[in-house]
Amino acid sequence: MRPGSETLSRAWNSQMDSAEVKGTVLVVDDEEPIRNLVARRMLKAGYACVTAENGERALDKVSTQEFDLIILDVKMPGLSGMEALPLIREKKPDACVIMATALVDMNLALQALNFGAFDYIVKPFDLDDLLARAEKALERKALLSGLKEDGVRQAEPAS
C-alpha cells in the first residue's frame, strides 16, 4: 500500500461519522488515482469507503470487515480481480460486486457475471454512471435480503 492511502481512507470514514452513511464500499484498483477518484465520488454520495490496491488486500479486508458493495478492478498485478472474485464470493456469498476493466471483452464480462458479479463496467467510466450502477446493485441486494428475511419468517411456526 502506498503511504497515505490508508490514512486517506480513515479521513474519509471519519468525515462520514457525523453524517448518515448509506453503506460501506470497498474500492479495489491497482491505480491509486482511479481508486481515490472512485472513493471520493462514493463518499460524496454518502457512502463510507475503504480502498485496497490489489486482490490480496481486498481479501484481507473482506475477511475482517463487512461491505455493502465491492468495486473490483479486473486486471491487477498479483491476484487479479477475476481471481479474487470467486474467493470473495466464497467468503461472502451475498457480496455485491461490480467489476471494472479497461478491456472491452464480452467473454470476460460473461465470466465475471457467471462468477457472481452483479455488474461490469468499462473504463474510462463516467462516475455518475458508476454511482447509478452501484445504487441499483445495492437496491437489488436490499430486496434480496428482504426476501430472505421474509422467507425465514414464513418458515417459522406461528406461536
Range of the domain at 120: 5-155
CA distance linking residue 2 with residue 9, whole number of Å: 12
| Number of domains forming the structure of the chain | 1
- Cell numbers describing residue 158: 406461528
Q: What is the pLDDT along the chain (159 residues), one digit of tens a residue?
A: 444 444 444 544 555 454 588 999 999 999 999 999 999 999 999 999 999 999 999 999 999 999 999 999 999 999 999 999 999 999 999 899 999 998 888 899 899 999 999 999 999 999 999 999 999 999 998 888 887 776 655 444 444
CA distance linking residue 78 with residue 30, whole number of Å: 10
CATH of the domain at 89: 3.40.50.2300
- Cell numbers describing residue 149: 428475511
Whole-number CA gyration radius for the chain: 16
Sort 120 into a burial class: Cβ within 10 Å, 0-12 / 13-18 / 19+: buried
The confidence score (pLDDT) of residue 152 equals 52
- Cell numbers describing residue 11: 479521513
The confidence score (pLDDT) of residue 146 equals 80
CA distance linking residue 9 with residue 5, whole number of Å: 6
CA distance linking residue 44 with residue 60, whole number of Å: 25
Tens of pLDDT, residue by residue over 52-75, are: 999 999 999 999 999 999 999 999
